[in-house]
């Protein structure tokens, strides 16, 4: 038996759900809901470390760096999910935030057991994606012990990248090898060892904070409006119009007309309405302010 694994909180048996197999359906659901309610408080305790990680990510991405999630199993899938949602939400280049999972893309749909133990593959991944001293690598593992992730983080650090660990146990193997370790301890799972449950939920909350707060600091929002979204379908065009209306207090027809004149660029449309500039001059002003809409508007006041 592995003493390290045996001592992990995420591997413990939960006394609160011990006889879940004897419960009614409603009792089972209530038990899970009660356990899930513990997750936000566990994440809240990690806020100082999450904030430190966001500042690191903002600094790296502001200086031509990239952000990489590396994980295995559920943790890897969550990283890939978070990375894949950045382009449509914040209008980022897909290269800026990337997610990788042990076993490759096939592991997103089908469990590929054993890959998380392959340290050589973790190293090979870091070298194949060209990690440099400008980048930041975030390793995700509920146990904090996946060799694939540990090896990837170690190699990334050797190459000068910033390293961040996200796990669900204190005193994990991540802590000695990363610049910041975020460890929301959610306790024993509803089903013993099934870290896709509370641990996965906690990881999702943390990753939401990492990318969202970093993107806000990069000027990807105006107030709390996602003005850099890509209006690539009917729903997103409608959302863009509503965002423009909210930001500028114009009616829907004016917002739609501005969006069309801005080549379906929501941020540019707002800039045009707010300043009275045409598309060319408004885009120039945005570029001069690194795409920061509020700053660009203020600079012309």
Q: Which residues are catalytic?
A: 85, 116
Cα pseudo-dihedral 38, 40, 43, 47, rounded to 10: -140
> Are the C-beta atoms of 60 and 134 separated by less than 8 Å?
yes
Coil, strand or helix at 175 = helix
DSSP 81-114: HHHHTHHHHH---TTTEEEEETT-GGGGTS--TT
Cα angle 113, 115, 120; round to 5: 165
Could you give the CA distance from residue 217 to residue 222 in angstroms, rounded to a whole number? Answer: 11
Going by the DSSP 8-state scheme, the letter that residue 185 receives in this structure is: -
Could you give the CA distance from residue 110 to residue 149 in angstroms, rounded to a whole number? Answer: 19
Distance from first CA to last CA of the chain, Å, rounded? 68
> Are the C-beta atoms of 95 and 130 separated by less than 8 Å?
no
> Are the C-beta atoms of 8 and 169 separated by less than 8 Å?
yes
User: What length does the chain have?
Assistant: 301
């Amino acid at each position: 038996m592995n003493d390290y694994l045996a001592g992990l909180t995420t591997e413990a048996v939960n006394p609160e759900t011990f006889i879940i197999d004897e419960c009614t359906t409603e009792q089972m659901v209530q038990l899970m809901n009660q356990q899930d309610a513990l997750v936000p408080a566990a994440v809240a305790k990690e806020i100082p470390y999450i904030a430190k990680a966001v500042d690191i990510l903002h600094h790296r991405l502001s200086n031509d760096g990239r952000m990489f999630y590396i994980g295995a199993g559920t943790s890897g899938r969550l990283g890939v999910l978070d990375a894949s949602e950045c382009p449509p939400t914040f209008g980022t280049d897909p290269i800026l935030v990337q997610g990788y999972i042990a076993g490759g893309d096939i592991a997103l749909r089908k469990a590929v057991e054993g890959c998380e133990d392959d340290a050589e593959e973790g190293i090979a991944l870091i070298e194949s994606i060209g990690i440099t001293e400008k980048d930041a690598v975030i390793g995700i593992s509920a146990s904090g012990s996946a060799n694939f992730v540990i090896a990837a983080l170690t190699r990334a650090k050797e190459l000068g990248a910033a390293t961040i660990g996200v796990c669900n146990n204190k005193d994990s193997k991540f802590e000695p090898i990363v610049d910041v370790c975020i460890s929301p301890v959610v306790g024993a799972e509803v089903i013993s060892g099934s870290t896709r449950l509370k641990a996965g939920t906690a990881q999702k909350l943390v990753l939401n904070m990492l990318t969202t707060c970093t993107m806000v600091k990069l000027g990807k929002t105006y107030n709390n409006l996602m003005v850099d979204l890509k209006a690539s379908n009917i729903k997103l065009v409608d959302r863009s119009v509503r965002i423009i209306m909210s930001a500028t207090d114009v009616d829907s027809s004016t917002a739609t007309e501005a969006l069309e004149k801005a080549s379906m660029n929501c941020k540019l449309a707002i800039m045009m309405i707010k300043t009275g500039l045409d598309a060319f001059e408004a885009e120039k002003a945005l570029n001069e302010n690194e795409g920061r809409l509020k700053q660009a508007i203020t600079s012309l006041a």
